[in-house]
Amino acid sequence: MANARLQHDDPLQFAEDLAAEGKAAEAACFLQSLIDGGRGGLLARLALARALQAAGQTQSALEVARETALLNTHVAVAALGLGEILLKAGQLPTAIGEFQRALRLDPALEEARYGVGCAWLEAGEAEKALTSFGELSAAMTARAQPEIADAQAMSRQQRSDPRYVRHLFDQFSIDYDERMLGQLCYAAPRILRELFALVAGEHRSLRVLDLGSGTGLSGAAFRDLAAELHGIDLSPAMIEKSRARAIYDQLNVGDLQSALSEGDRYDLILAADTLVYLGDLAAVFEGAALSLVPGGFFLFTVEKQDGDDYALGPKRRWRHSQSYLRAEAAQAGFDVAGLMECVPRSEANAPVEGLAVALRKM
Ligand SMILES: C[S@@+](CC[C@H](N)C(=O)[O-])C[C@H]1O[C@@H](n2cnc3c(N)ncnc32)[C@H](O)[C@@H]1O
């Protein structure tokens, strides 16, 4: 009886309460029946989209939010609602477009400006997020404190944020192989394979771990040496591409550091053009040393930095100096078995100066 009265008094609040109690699917059914009965307007449709998303029905949520925005092209909250659903679905460029459209329709709609900041944050773009949050009113700034703190922490990290890397490579995955092997003259896997032959001779039946395995170009260069080949990558879309190659025995979506703390032991660990997304390499060197058998190899390419440290380059890839690599290698218990200058790829038709490195666990 009490429920029936609440439904009658404020059906949208009733649906919101259901969703807050973890009954999102029930809330969606209730809202759908309201709309089907001709008793639901714009707000009911937006609430339905949110309830569907909370119930894990992302595609249906997107359909409802898109249809609502189309039916209300001049209503800012409809664009805002679609932007919020797109943001949660990880469709970041389109989400930003909808938030900006909402702001054009109603420049005072603070939630849309907050949404832009959140979408940049989700894309790992700390500076752009902070610029958007910087335009909020005092009251909204107070509400956005956790996101502002997150963006500030992100901009201080000595590595590329995993959200930035995931977003970048989810987008890049579509034509990664064509662009890398064509226009960008990508050679890191071949260079590492040649370096391995130089420092280790002919080895077979190895347990190999490929860090930042991407679409599998690096794994493919070593497949014939591997009894078992594992790959890990932050980008689900890159992992899907590598799965289609059918050369890995195990593939995981995640940060490479997680593969180095599982207690597995490998004969060879690869990181072809992956460490350019990390500045400070202490943790990855330490993890690689723990995950290799004695005498095992850690093979990687980096972009070259002069001097004796590491730094973020203009293309948002980190560069590492020889002396930094040697110092960190010694600290982690590695011998430098080989270190040579190379051109792992080109950028804007110019060769990128790099280093190919083979470390042997002592
Ligand atoms: C330039 S691609 C190289 C891919 C592959 N190794 C190759 O040779 O084609 C760099 C890859 O490293 C992944 N990556 C970067 N940082 C990572 C991290 N911390 N953990 C896991 N993967 C990472 C990216 O998602 C991307 O797929």
Tell me: pLDDT of 303 over 80. yes
CA of 207 to the centre of ligand 1 (A): 19
- The reply to whether 271 and 337 lie within a common domain is yes
The span from the CA of 113 to the CA of 132, in Å, is 6
- Asked whether 161 lines ligand 1 (CB < 6 A), one says no
- The reply to whether 15 and 132 lie within a common domain is yes
Q: Which pLDDT band holds residue 3 (cuts at 50, 70, 90)?
A: low
Neighbouring C-alpha atoms within 13 Å toward the C-beta of 162: 12
Residue to mutate, 160, 165, 235, ligand 1, most ligand atoms under 8 Å from C-beta: 165
- Asked whether 176 lines ligand 1 (CB < 6 A), one says no
In a domain, 322, yes or no: yes
- The reply to whether 25 and 127 lie within a common domain is yes
- The reply to whether 250 and 193 lie within a common domain is yes
Say what the pLDDT of residue 5 is: 46
Residue partners of 316: CB distance under 8 A and separation at least 6: 160, 164
Q: Whose CA is nearest to atom 1 of ligand 1?
A: 273
- Asked whether 212 lines ligand 1 (CB < 6 A), one says yes
In a domain, 319, yes or no: yes
The tally of domains found in the chain comes to 2
The residue segments making up the domain with residue 93 are 2-156
Who wins on pLDDT, 8 or 22? 22
pLDDT in tens, 117-154: 999 999 999 999 999 999 999 999 999 999 999 999 99
Tell me: pLDDT of 2 over 50. no
- Asked whether 274 lines ligand 1 (CB < 6 A), one says yes
Say what the pLDDT of residue 252 is: 98
- Asked whether 273 lines ligand 1 (CB < 6 A), one says yes
Which residue is listed with tokens 């130089």?
A: 198
Q: Find the helix packing angle between 11-20 and 42-54, rounded to 10°.
A: 10
Q: Find the helix packing angle between 76-88 and 58-71, rounded to 10°.
A: 160
- The reply to whether 186 and 312 lie within a common domain is yes
- The reply to whether 76 and 123 lie within a common domain is yes
- Asked whether 80 lines ligand 1 (CB < 6 A), one says no
- Asked whether 299 lines ligand 1 (CB < 6 A), one says no
- The reply to whether 145 and 175 lie within a common domain is no
In a domain, 162, yes or no: no
Last residue of a domain, one of 123, 156, 189: 156
Last residue of a domain, one of 111, 129, 156: 156
Q: Residue 210 in contact with residue 256, Cβ under 8 Å?
A: no
Q: Which two tokens stand for residue 341?
A: 């200058």
- The reply to whether 178 and 126 lie within a common domain is no
- The reply to whether 200 and 242 lie within a common domain is yes
Last residue of a domain, one of 108, 136, 156: 156
Residue 100: in which H helix or E strand, if any? Answer: helix 92-105
In the chain, the amino acid numbered 183 is: Q
CA of 284 to the centre of ligand 1 (A): 14
- The reply to whether 128 and 272 lie within a common domain is no
In a domain, 60, yes or no: yes
Say what the pLDDT of residue 84 is: 97
- Asked whether 119 lines ligand 1 (CB < 6 A), one says no
CA of 120 to the centre of ligand 1 (A): 21
Q: Whose CA is nearest to atom 9 of ligand 1?
A: 217
Q: Residue 268 in contact with residue 209, Cβ under 8 Å?
A: yes
In a domain, 334, yes or no: yes
Cα–Cα distances (Å) from 256 to 13, 33, 195, 230, 338, in that order, read 44, 47, 22, 11, 23
In a domain, 307, yes or no: yes
Q: Residue 237 in contact with residue 170, Cβ under 8 Å?
A: yes
Q: Whose CA is nearest to atom 27 of ligand 1?
A: 214
| Rg of the chain on CA atoms, in Å | 25
Q: Which two tokens stand for residue 346?
A: 């080109």
Backbone angles phi, psi at 201, to 5 degrees: 70, -160
- The reply to whether 85 and 127 lie within a common domain is yes
Q: Which two tokens stand for residue 117?
A: 């900041």
- 22-39 b/e with 16+ CB inside 10 Å = b? ebbbebbbbbbebeeeee
- The reply to whether 185 and 331 lie within a common domain is yes
pLDDT in tens, 71-115: 999 999 999 999 999 999 999 999 999 999 999 999 999 999 999
In a domain, 161, yes or no: no
Q: Find the helix packing angle between 24-36 and 11-20, rounded to 10°.
A: 160
Q: Residue 348 in contact with residue 315, Cβ under 8 Å?
A: no
Residue to mutate, 174, 175, 233, ligand 1, most ligand atoms under 8 Å from C-beta: 233
Nearest of 222, 275, 278 to residue 247 by alpha carbon: 222
pLDDT in tens, 194-230: 999 999 987 889 999 999 999 999 999 999 999 999 9
Beta strands in the chain (DSSP E): 206-211, 226-233, 250-253, 266-271, 292-304, 310-312, 318-320, 334-342, 346-347, 350-351, 354-361
3 state SS of 186: coil
Q: What is the CATH number of the domain that holds 308?
A: 3.40.50.150
The span from the CA of 222 to the CA of 271, in Å, is 12
Q: Residue 160 in contact with residue 316, Cβ under 8 Å?
A: yes
Which atom from ligand 1 is nearest to the alpha carbon of 271? Answer: 6
The mean pLDDT value for 276-281 works out to: 98
Q: What is the CATH number of the domain that holds 33?
A: 1.25.40.10
In a domain, 331, yes or no: yes
Maximum separation of any 2 CA atoms in the chain, in Å: 80
